[in-house]
Structure 1
Amino acid sequence: MSELDMSQYLGIFLDEAGEQLQQLDEAIVKLEQTPDDLDLLNTIFRAAHTLKGSSASMGFNRLATLTHRMESVLDLLRQGKLAVSREIIDILLASLDKLRVLKDSIAAGNGDEGELGDIVARLEAVLAGEAGASPRDKVPGSETLTLDDIEQNVIRAAQVKGFQAYEIRVQLEEGCQMKAARAYLVFNNLKEAGEVIKSVPHTQDLEAEKFEDTFTLAFVSREDADTLANIVKSISEIKNVTVRPISLDEDRLVAAEVSALEQENGSLAARAKANSKASEQRITQTVRVDVQRLENLMNLVGELVIDRTRLAEVGNGLKARLGNEELLETLEEVSLHIGRITSDLQEEIMKARMFPIDQVFNRFPRMVRDLARKAGKEIDFIIEGRETELDRTVIEEIGDPLIHLLRNAIDHGIEAPEARLKAGKPRHGTVRLRAFHQENQIVITVEDDGAGMDPEKIKARAVAKGLISREAAARLGHREALDLIFLPGLSTSEKVTDVSGRGVGMDIVRNHIEKINGTIDIRTTPGKGTCFTIKLPLTLAINRSLLVQVGGRVYAFPLANVVEIIDITPADIQHVHRQQVVVVRGRVLPLIYLGQALGLARAMPAGENYAVVIVGLAEKQIGFIVDNLIGEQEIVIKSLGNFIGKIPGIAGATIMGDGSVALILDVRSLVDNLGVEASRELAS
C-alpha cells in the first residue's frame, strides 16, 4: 500500500497510539504496587504488542523497534524470568517517555525521527540479564533466553522441515583468558550441525567479551541433544554444557497470531471476542467526532433553547389578549411539543459532550510517583470516582489546578518518612483524589494526611512578604487566614525547589477554577492533613440561574452560588462598623443592595419588605438585596466578547424569552470588589 494510502489512517493511528500509551503509563505505575498481578502484566503486554503492530504497519520503524524491545522485557516479566523492581519500572517508564516524543514527532509531520538514545541499550541490558534481574536470575548460567514473534516463526518453519530447536547453555572455565575466542569456536564448530537463531548475550557482546562466563544459544538442527553437547564439549576450557529442547508456548503464539490478524484485517469478530468479558453486556458502537462539531451543535441547541422560551412567551401573550382561540390552543400544543423535543435534544448533546473525569485523573499516578521519588517521600496515591462525567470544556480547564494541588500535597503536605514515624504516623503518606456528583455540580477533593497548614504561620509569611499589614493580619479569622495562600507571591515553603516555593501556583488554581464558575474551599488540621474541595458546574454552556430584578433590569445569579432566599423588613437591618447586617439563625450576615454593588444606585429604595439572595463562596456568605425575584430558569451563557471586555461583577449575558438581554453576575468578583473590610471580617 502506498504512503499516500496510509496517510488517511494517520489520525486514527495517532488517536489509538495516544490511548495505548496512556494505558501503558497507568498500568506500569500500578504494576510497581502490585508486581504479582499476572492479569495486569498481560494487559500491559497486549497494549505494547498492539502498538508495535500498528506502528510497523504504518512504517514507523523506530516506534516499532522500541516497542518491540519493551515487549521482550514485558514477556520476561510475564514468564517470571525477571522480577519487577523499581529499576525495571524506571526503564519502562523512560521508554514510554521516548515513545511519546516519537509520537509527537509523527503528529508534527516529521515522522518518527530522532535518536532512540541509550534507552534501547538499557532495555537490551535487561534482556541480557545485566539489569533488573532478581538475585536468583544473576547466578552464573541463569541468563534468560526469550524469543520474539519473528524468531518463533523461524523455529516453527524449521520444525516443519524436520529440524529440532534447542537451547544450548555454555559455561566457560573460571579464569578463561580468551572468552571471545572460546565463544567463536562454539559458533564455528556448531555451524556444520545447524543454525544459530539467537544468542544471549548478543554476538557483538560476545566478541567484545561483555559477559561473565556463560552464554546461551537458540539453535535448530537435525542432530540430537547428545551430539550437540559433545560438539561443544570437544572445545577446551568449557566447564559445562546443557542442551534441552525448546518448547514454544502455543497458547501465547495463538494469542499473538489472533492479535496480528486483528490488526491486519480489522476483524470485528476477533474484537468482539476480546472485548466481551460478559455475554450479557450490551455491545455499543462508537464513532470519533471532531470536537468543533460538538461545539457547533451545542451553540445551535443554545439558540433553540432561547427560541423555545420566546415562543412560550409569545403564546402566553396572545392567550392573554385573545382568550382560548382554537388556533391559540394549536400554537400552545406545538410550543409544548417543540419544548419537549428541544429539551431532549439539549440533554443528548450535553451527554455527547460529557467525558469521564478519568481522562484527567489517569495522567496523575505517574506524576505523583515521579514527584514522590524526587522528594524522597513514600506516598500511597488513591483515586476515587474515575467514572464521574463532566463537560469537555470543564475537563480542559480543571487539569492545571489539580496538578498544582497534587504537587503542593506532595511537597508541602506529606512529611518525609522519618518525620512521619516520629509523629506516630505510618511511613507512607496518603494522597486521595476523589470526584463525585452533588446536585447540579461536580465536587473534586484533593486530600492528604500530612502536616496540615497553620493559619498563624500563613499570616506571618504574608506579613513578612509585605502582602498584608500586621494590623490587617491580626483581624483575620481562621478561614480568611487560610485564603491568604491564594495571594500571588505567597509560599509557606522555606526553600525554593523545582516543584514549589516561588509563590506561584495557588493563585493560578483559584483563577482557573473561578474562570469556569467554580469555587474552592480549604479544610485543614495542623498535624493531621489538608483537604481542598472544588465545586464545578456540569457544563459551561447552559446553566440554571436565579433571575432577579434591580432598577428595572434583569440579572442572573448562578444557582451554584445561591444558598437561600429570605425576606426581611427594615427593622431587621442593623449596622456594625457602618456595614448593614442582618442576623440569620444566630449568624451575622453582611448585606448590600445589588444596585449599589453594581454601581447603579447609591442607596436602596424604601420599602416595607426586602428580598435577600444569600450567596456563598466556600464558607463566606453575603446577602444581596434585590427589588424583585423573577424565578429560576435555564439560561444559555453568551460571552460579552472582546469589544466590551471584562466588566467587574459580570460573567456574561443571556437572551430572555421576550428578546431582552439579562446580565449574568460574577459573584466572586462582586464580593471582591465591594471594598468593605467589615464585610470580609463578618463573612467568615
Structure 2
Amino acid sequence: MEGVTQNPMLIDPEMKEIVDSFLLETKEILENLNVDLMELEKRPDDLDLLNQIFRSFHTIKGTSGFLGLEKLPEVTHKCEDILNKLRRGEAKLNSNIMDGILLGYDVIKELMFKIENDKNEDVDVENVINVLTGLLKNLGEANLPEEQIQQSNQIENKEQKEIKTDATTVVSNEKNNATKLASSPDTRKTDNTIRVDVERLDALLNIASELVLGRNRLTQVNSQFALEYENTNIAKDLADATKQIDLMTTELQLVVMKLRMIKIGKVFNRFPRVVRDMCKELEKEVELKIYGEDTEVDKNLIEEINDPLVHLIRNAIDHGIEKPDVRESKGKNRKGTVILSAEHEGNNIVIKIEDDGKGIDPEVIKEKAISKGFITAEKAKELTKQEAYNLIFHPGFSTAEVVTNVSGRGVGMDVVKTNVAKLRGTISIESEVDKGTRIILRLPLTLAIISGMIVKACNQTLVIPLHSVIEVIRVNKNQIETVRGREVINLRDSILPIVGLEELLDNAENGHKKDSDWQYIVEVGIAEKRFGIKVDNLIGQQEVVIKSLGNYLGKIDGIAGSTIMGDGTVVIILDINELFNKLEKKLNA
C-alpha cells in the first residue's frame, strides 16, 4: 500500500509459517470470543466464562507482541485489564463496560483484517484506547498505587503461565512433545484432526465428480452388455463389478462431501451480536434463540448464506418485533423472540427465521405496492394471501415509514431472493397478523453435484435440477386453457402458467410435439414463484455433475451448465432462476 509501511516481520519469508499460524489461530479465537461475549452479558457472574474470555484476549496480546505488532497488543491489553477487574470482583459488568469491550473486539477484528491483507496496522485506535482508558479510570485503575499494579501483574503472569506467548517456545515444545510421544511405548493419539487447504478439497471433489460421470458411463455400458450377452458369466461379472463401483463411488462422494461440511453455527453464532446492536439502536428488547447450529452444510454455501440471513434477522427485529410498550399493550411479553433454526431435510438444508411480532398484513402490503406503482388496484384484488406476501420480494419494495440505518431504502428482501435463487434454493413466507412471521429457506447441501430430472423436449435431452421440481403432472390437452394469450392449467384451484422450452430457450423447433392427447408438465419453483414446463418424455432421475460451458460459450441465459450422460453425450442443465426471469419479461412485454 502506498504511503503505509508494511511490518517487516509480517512479510519475512522465514516467518510466513508462524504468521499464517497466528492469523488462523487468532481468527478462531475471535469467532469463539464473539459467542462468549454475548453469553457473558447473560451470565455476568460466571467466573469460568470470564476467565475463558480473559485468556482469549491474553493469548492474542502475547502472540501479536511476539510478531512485533504494536496497536493490536495495545488494544487487547486494555480489554484484558477491564476483564481482569471483572474476574477479580473489583467491578460489576454493565452495559457501558460491555459496549467498551465490544468496541475493542471490533477494532481487533479490523486490525486483523489489515494485518492479513495489507501486512500493517493502519487502523486508528486512538478512540478505542480513550474509551477503554476512561472505563478503567471509572473502575479505579488510575488510583491504584504502582506497587499494587506491579503485584497485580505478577499474579496475572503466575495465573497465565499456561498460555504460551512466545511462538518459538510453542514450536519448541511441540517438537519435544512429538519426540517424547514417538519414543513412548504407550503412544496415544493426542489429536485426531488435521488442517487441509481448501484447494486440495476442491481438487478431491472434482475428481469425485469425474468419477460419478465414469460410474454413469459404466452403468450404461453394463446395461447394453447385459442385453447382448444375457446369462453369460462375463455379463454377470461385469454386473457385479458395476454394482461394486457404483457403491464405492457413492460412498466416496459422501465422504468427500462430508470433508467440506462445516457446522452452520459458524454463521449462526454471529447473530447474537447483530441482535444486541440492533436492539440498542431501535430501543427494542429481543431474545434470539438458536437451534440446529450443529447442522452441517458445504463450505461454499456457508460463505453465501451470511448476507441473506443478516437481512432476514434485521427485518424480523425492525419490521416484525414491536416496541416493548406496544407489545405490552397487546398483552405480549415486553421482550420479543426471534428463533433461528436449521435442519436437514433430504438433500436440502432448511433454515427458518421466526418472530413473535406484528406479522405481515396482506392488505397493507397491497396498498404499499399500489402506491409504489408495482401493481394496479384491480390486480391487487385478485391476489391471494400468499401472492400478497410475495410482493415483498419486489425490488424497491419497503413498508418502512422512515428511512433509517436499518431499513426503508427499498433494498433487502429482493437481495435475499436473488442470493437464494443463485444458490438454487427456495424461499417462502408464513405469517399471521399480531402472531408473527416465519420465513423458510430451502437450500441444496452442495453446489457441485446435483440430483437432476432427465427429460426430453425440443428434440433433445435436458436436465432439470431436482431441487427446483415440485411435482410432475400428466394432463389431458383439453385441460390446457389460454388466459390473456398465455397457456395455463387449473391445478388444485390455483392457476399455474405453463410454457414450452422452445419458447424459453428461443428454439425455433416446434416439431417436438407428439400426436397424443396427454401432456407431461414439470412444475418448478424458485423462491416464491411457480410455473410448469411442457416436456415430451420423462427419462428418469440421476445424479449429475455441473460443468461450466467454458470461456468459448460463456454464460447463456437459462442454462446453468452441462453434464455428460452415461452414453457420453453432453446435455445441458437448465437454470430455473434465469428461465423465470425470461418468462417474467415475456409476460410483462
Q: Please state how far the C-alpha of 1:577 moved relative to its aligned partner.
A: 6.2
- Separation of aligned partners in 1, 2:116 and 2:410: 35
Mapped to 2, the partners of 1:270 and 1:318 lie a distance apart of 61
Tell me the alpha carbon deviations over residues 263-313 of structure 1, each in whole angstroms, 9 at most, x when there is no partner. 6335569999xxxxxxxx996522222222222222222111111111221
- Superimposed CA distance per residue, residues 577-625 of structure 1 (whole angstroms, 9 cap, x where no aligned partner): 6665555566665544455554445584331443333334466654433
- Aligned residue runs from structure 1 range 103-502, under 5 A: 103-128=112-137, 130=138, 133=139, 143=140, 200-201=142-143, 216=145, 218=147, 255-260=159-164, 264-265=169-170, 284-502=191-409
Change beyond 3 A, Cα 1:282–1:597 = farther
Aligned equivalents of 1:622, 1:594: Cα separation in 2:
12
* 1:640 equivalent in structure 2: 549
* Paired AA for residue 71 in structure 1: E
> Which residue identity is paired with 1:635?
V
> Residues 29 and 89 of structure 1 are in contact (CA less than 8 Å); yes or no, is this contact kept in structure 2?
no
Which protein has the larger Cα radius of gyration, Structure 1 or Structure 2?
1
Residue 662 in structure 1 maps to residue 566 in structure 2: no
State the TM-score, normalized to the length of structure 1.
0.75
- Once residues 66 and 166 of structure 2 are traced to their aligned partners in structure 1, the CA distance between those partners, rounded to angstroms, is 12
The answer for the alignment partner of 2:108 in structure 1 is 99
Gaps of 5+ in 1: 134-142, 145-199, 202-214, 222-245, 273-280, 680-684
Residue-by-residue CA offset, 1:522-578 (whole Å, 9 max, x unaligned): 112222222111100000100112111123311222222223334333455566666
Q: 1: CA distance between counterparts of 2:410 and 2:51?
A: 44
2:437 corresponds to: 530
Task: Quote the RMSD (CA, aligned, Å).
Answer: 3.3
Report 1:618-629 matches (<5 A): 621-629=530-538
Which one of 533, 544, 560 corresponds to residue 651 of structure 1? Answer: 560
- 1:562 and 1:614 in contact (8 A); partners too: yes
Does residue 611 of the first structure (1) align with residue 517 of the second (2)?
A: no
Q: After superposing the two structures, state which structure 1 stretch, 535-544 or 314-323, moved more.
A: 314-323
- After TM superposition, the score normalised by the length of structure 2 is 0.87
One-letter amino acid matched to 1:637: I
16-25 or 325-334: bigger deviation: 325-334
Letter of the 1:383 partner, please give it: I
Q: What's the secondary structure of 1:9's corresponding residue?
A: helix
Match of 2:182 in 1: none
Kept in 2: contact 1:361–1:386 (CA 8 A): yes
How far 1:649 moved relative to its partner?
Answer: 3.4
Q: Hey, what's the Cα distance between the residues in 2 that align with 1:282 and 1:471?
A: 72
Specify whether residues 549 and 54 from structure 1 end up closer, same or farther in structure 2 by C-alpha distance, changes over 3 A only.
same
Moved more, 479-488 or 65-74: 65-74
Give deviations 1:625-681, integer Å, cap 9, x for gaps: 3211111111111223454354443322211111112222233443454459999xx
Q: Residue 24 of structure 2 corresponds to which residue in structure 1? A: 15
Seen in structure 2, the aligned counterparts of structure 1 residues 90 and 247 have a Cα distance that, compared at 3 Å, is closer
Q: What corresponds to 2:72 in structure 1? A: 63
364-373 vs 617-626, which moves further: 617-626
Equivalent position SS for 1:44 = helix
Deviation at 1:411, TM superposition (A): 1.9
> Is there any run of 5+ residues in structure 2 with no aligned partner, and where?
1-7, 179-187
Structure 1 contact 519–617 (Cα < 8 Å) conserved: yes
**How far apart in 2 are the matches of 1:594 and 1:373?**
52
When the two structures are aligned, how many residues end up with a matched partner?
Answer: 566
Contact 1:522 1:532 in 2 (8 A): yes
**Alpha carbons of 1:255 and 1:345: their partners in 2 closer, same or farther (altered >3 Å)?**
farther
Counting aligned pairs with the same residue, the percent is 41
Q: CA deviation at 1:445?
A: 1.2
- Write the distance in 2 (CA, Å) between the matches of 1:500 and 1:289: 40
Cα 1:651–1:472 change in 2 (3 A) is farther
Cross-structure match for 1:72: 81
**2:101 is matched by which residue type in structure 1?**
L
| Matches of 1:262 and 1:343, distance apart in 2 | 47
SS of the aligned residue for 2:451 comes to strand
Counterparts in 2 of 1:645 and 1:473: CA distance versus 1, 3 Å: farther
SS at match of 2:313: helix
Where 2:538 maps in the other structure, the secondary structure is strand
SS at match of 1:368: helix
| 1:371 and 1:407 in contact (8 A); partners too | yes
1:178-225 Cα deviation digits (max 9, x unpaired): xxxxxxxxxxxxxxxxxxxxxx43xxxxxxxxxxxxx5453699xxxx
Q: Which amino acid aligns with 1:61?
A: E
